[in-house]
């Protein structure tokens, strides 16, 4: 008993473990709440649609871009096999675990710039925004995408090459959205306009990104004959949907992209020059990400915007807390200008 108490006391003396023990249970219940809300918004989860789709994916007969998102259905299949639970429950476990990991990792990712309380506020904001993205669809690559996207940003920020390569590779097995992240690696590591420096950076960017591009290209080659869920070119539909909603339906899903981060779309770029180096260099990803999705995706499915939360929320909080008179603990090494 004394040994057990000693271990507990030693654990509580470790700042990281103490913070993890304090906040992780809250994030677990926030993930659970989000799972319950997702299930309420998705009748297809329990009416047989999920099981039929899962069977199609296992036979590689499902539509793209879902069929190419291997981890979306292979992880639930593994859970189903090992734990002997139903397919529906396997997908529930997957979503619960990955959303919990996203919220917990997001907290510690933000600790480079914020104190624990301010990081907590960012996680709670993300958990509050996520239900807005829920609708009756089964795009279950989304929670895994969020985690791999976040870990990749974390690895790029901290210059951890192995973590970058591994997270990009794993992310490529799950969702092609990861293909945009080499842009952040390039911008963050840019040092000089000299040709030698640029060529070196281009080469390093190619090397760390190669497993991702090879993975996505290989999967898409083998699924090239699978039917597409929707046409690739979506810009006219997205513009028409927004204009129609502005005239007739202000609560239409076509406008949710504006409601999702609301003022944070603006706050993210206010005083950008004064913000930490990584966030400044990664900020151009935000408009590029939005523009690409306006061109080739249906933006009324605003789950597509969730990966941006790992940039928009910390950037916005830095503006909010600075102008609100609150304090944030900033990692000075990331604020040093070139």
Task: Please tell me the total number of residues recorded for the chain in this structure.
Answer: 338
Q: Tell whether pTM > 0.85.
A: yes
Please report, to the nearest 10 degrees, the dihedral formed by the alpha carbons of residues 76, 77, 82, 88 taken in order: 60
pLDDT on residue 288? 98
pLDDT on residue 335? 36
Residues 21 and 11: beta-carbon distance below 8 Å:
yes
pLDDT on residue 2? 60
Mention every residue, 6+ apart, whose C-beta is less than 8 A from residue 287.
none
331: left (phi over 0), alpha (psi -120 to 50) or beta: beta
Separation CA 177–CA 292 (nearest Å): 10
User: Contacts from 256-259 at CB under 8 Å and sequence distance 24+?
Assistant: 256/132, 256/133, 256/300, 256/302, 257/290, 257/299, 257/300, 257/302, 257/305, 259/132
Q: CA-CA distances (angstroms) from residue 314 to 111, 304, 326?
A: 10, 19, 14
DSSP helix/strand/coil, 231: coil
Cα end-to-end span (Å), the chain: 54
Mention every residue, 6+ apart, whose C-beta is less than 8 A from residue 222.
60
List the chain domain ranges: 2-334
Tokens of 72: 């979306």
pLDDT on residue 17? 93
pLDDT on residue 4? 60
pLDDT on residue 22? 94
Separation CA 276–CA 333 (nearest Å): 8
pLDDT on residue 327? 44
DSSP 64: B
DSSP helix/strand/coil, 44: helix
pLDDT in tens, the chain (338 residues): 566 665 566 566 788 999 999 999 999 999 999 999 999 999 999 999 999 999 999 999 999 889 999 999 999 999 999 999 999 999 999 999 999 999 999 999 999 999 999 999 999 999 999 999 999 999 999 999 999 999 999 999 999 999 999 999 999 999 999 999 999 999 999 999 999 999 999 999 999 999 999 999 999 999 999 998 888 899 999 999 999 999 988 889 999 999 999 999 999 999 999 999 999 999 999 999 999 999 999 999 999 999 999 999 999 999 999 854 444 444 434 433 33
Tokens of 164: 């970058």
Mention every residue, 6+ apart, whose C-beta is less than 8 A from residue 126.
102, 103, 106, 309, 313
């Amino acid at each position: 008993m004394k040994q057990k108490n000693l271990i507990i006391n030693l654990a509580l003396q470790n700042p990281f473990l103490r913070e993890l023990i304090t906040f992780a249970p809250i994030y677990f219940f926030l993930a659970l709440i989000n799972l319950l809300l997702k299930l309420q918004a998705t009748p297809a989860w329990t009416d047989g649609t999920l099981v039929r789709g899962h069977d199609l994916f296992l036979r590689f007969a499902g539509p793209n871009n879902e069929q190419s998102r291997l981890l979306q259905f292979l992880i639930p299949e593994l859970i189903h096999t090992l734990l002997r639970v139903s397919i529906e429950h396997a997908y529930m476990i997957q979503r619960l675990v990955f959303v919990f990991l996203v919220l917990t990792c997001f907290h510690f990712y933000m600790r480079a710039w914020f104190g624990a309380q301010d990081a907590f506020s960012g996680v709670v904001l993300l958990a509050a925004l996520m239900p807005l993205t829920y609708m009756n669809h089964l795009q279950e690559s989304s929670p895994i995408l969020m985690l791999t996207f976040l870990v990749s940003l974390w690895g790029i920020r901290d210059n951890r090459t192995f973590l970058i390569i591994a997270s990009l590779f794993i992310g490529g097995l799950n969702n092609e959205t990861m293909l945009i992240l080499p842009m952040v690696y390039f911008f963050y590591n840019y040092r000089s306009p000299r040709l030698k420096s640029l060529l070196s950076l281009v080469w390093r960017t190619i090397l760390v990104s190669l497993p991702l591009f090879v993975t996505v290209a290989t999967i898409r080659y083998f699924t090239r004959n699978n039917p597409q869920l929707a046409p690739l070119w979506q810009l006219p539909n997205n513009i028409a949907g927004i204009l129609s909603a502005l005239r007739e339906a202000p609560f239409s899903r076509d406008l949710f992209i504006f409601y999702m981060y609301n003022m944070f779309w603006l706050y993210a770029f206010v005083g950008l020059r004064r913000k930490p180096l990584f966030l400044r260099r990664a900020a151009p990803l935000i408009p590029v990400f939005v523009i690409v999705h306006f061109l080739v995706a249906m933006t009324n499915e605003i789950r597509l915007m969730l990966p941006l939360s790992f940039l928009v929320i910390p950037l916005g909080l830095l503006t909010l807390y600075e102008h609100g008179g609150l304090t944030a603990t900033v990692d000075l090494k990331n604020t040093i200008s070139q």
